Amino acid sequence: MAEHHDIRSFFSPLNKTTAAAMAEKPAVPHCPGGSECTAKGCDMMHPCCRAGKGCPGTTWLTRDHYGVWGGRRTTTCNACRFARREYEARKYGPRRRALNAIHNPRWNPVNNPRWNPVNNPRWNPVNNPRWNPVNNPRWNPVNNKKRQREAEEVARECLKQIHGVTPLMPGQAAAIAKDIMINPVDGVTGKDVSLEDYLQCEKVWSPGVDEPPAFYVGYTAQAVRHEALRFLTERGQELQLDDGSFTRTGHLNRPVLLHANDDVITQKQAVEDFGFEFFVVYHSNIQMNARAVEAAIQHLYQEPLPLGQRLWRKPDMGAKYSLKVDPKVVHQVFITTSPLVTRLIREQQLKVVA
C-alpha cells in the first residue's frame, strides 16, 4: 500500500517540521457539521459517551501566523461538554453560593456587622473620621474655605510677581456687579432700561401673580454661543482639589431645569421652545476678575430670588485661581434668560431640581 502524504506539507517552507508534527498523530478531517456531515462515527454529531474522560473529539488542522500547517485543535463532543459543565457546577457551585451576598450572611451587609455600615464603625461615616466631614479636614467645608483663601492669596501673589497684574478685590468686584445691573446693555435692554429692570429682579416669583423672567449668570473662556446653554445639559462634573483648582471626575452634573418627565432640555429646545437668549456683561483677560464678577452678581440675588427664577443653586462654583494670563484668551461673564420658564413651571411643563 502506497504511503499517503498531505500535499500541503510540500508547499510549506517548513515541510520537514510540518511532516514530523503530522506524523505524530493522524489528523481527523474537519467536520462541516449539520446536514453536510456524512461520517457515521463523527464525534461532532454522535457523542462518544465517555463523559469527558478521554474523549477523542474532533481534531482540526491549523496554521501558525507564518501560514504553516501542522498545528491541531481538538473539540470535544457535545455530550462531553455538557458533562464537563455539570462537573464544574458540582465542584465550584458551593463556592459561588458562599460568595453570594443574598444566600450567605457572611457577605450580607444586613446580617453581618463586618460589612454593615450601621454597626461597623470602619465603614460608618458618622464614626469614621476618614469619611466624616466633621472630623476630617479634607471633607470639612470650614477648612475647605480656609484652603480656598490660601489658594487665592497664592494666586494673587503669583499674578502680581509674574505678570504684574493685580486681580480685583471682593469689594471692587461687588461694585462692578452693581454697576452692571443698574446700567443698560447695548442691543439688549434698550437705552433707558437697566439690566435689573429688564430681568425684573425687584419682583419675587409668585406663581400666577408675578412671573418674571428666569435667568442664569455664568462664566466661560470659550465662545459664549457654545457655553451659554450648557448649564441645562448633563455636562461633566468637577472636583475641587487641595490647592483650590478643579479637575474633571467623569461624573455628570444634575441640570437645575428639566422637562416634567425628567428629560434633559436640549439646547435647540431651549432656544426654539422656551425662548432662551444670552448676552455678555463683562470680560477680562484675567480669570480671577471674571470669576469674581460672576460670583458678585450671583451673590446679589442668591437670597432674595427663589430657585426657578434664578437658575443656579450655589454661587461662586468652579475653577477660579488660574495663574495664566493670555491676551488671546478672553474670560467672559454672561447672562442667559428666558421669559417663559416661570410660567411653564407653574403649568408643570418644566420642573426645578433643587
Q: Looking at the domain assignment, is residue 245 inside a domain?
A: yes
Instruction: Give a yes or no: residue 100 inside a domain.
Output: no
The cell numbers describing 127, all together, are 464614626
Q: Is residue 99 part of a domain?
A: no
Report the number of distinct structural domains present in the chain: 1
Q: Taking the model in full, what pTM does it have?
A: 0.59
- Residue 315: inside a domain, yes or no? yes
Residue 196 domain flag: yes
Which pLDDT score, from 0 to 100, does residue 233 have? 87
Please tell me the predicted confidence (pLDDT) of residue 146.
Answer: 78
Boundaries of domain holding 158: 143-352
Q: Are 330 and 283 in contact (CB under 8 A)?
A: yes
Share of the chain above pLDDT 70, in %: 60
CA gap 338, 347 in Å, rounded: 15
Other C-beta atoms lying within 10 Å of the C-beta of residue 176: 20
Phi, psi of 126 (to 5 degrees): -75, -40
Give the pLDDT confidence score for residue 92 in this predicted structure. Answer: 76
Whether residue 293 lies inside any domain: the answer is yes
pLDDT at 77: 66
pLDDT of res. 63? 72
Residues 55/48, Cβ–Cβ less than 8 Å:
yes
22 within domain boundaries:
no
Distances (CA, A) of 274 to 85, 200, 208, 345: 60, 18, 18, 11
Does some domain include residue 127?
Answer: no
pLDDT at 18: 45
Ranges of the chain with pLDDT below 70 = 1-62, 65, 70-81, 95-143, 236-251
What are the C-alpha distances in Å from 86 to residues 45, 64, 77?
Answer: 20, 33, 15
Looking at residue 138, its pLDDT comes to 55
What pLDDT is attached to residue 150?
84
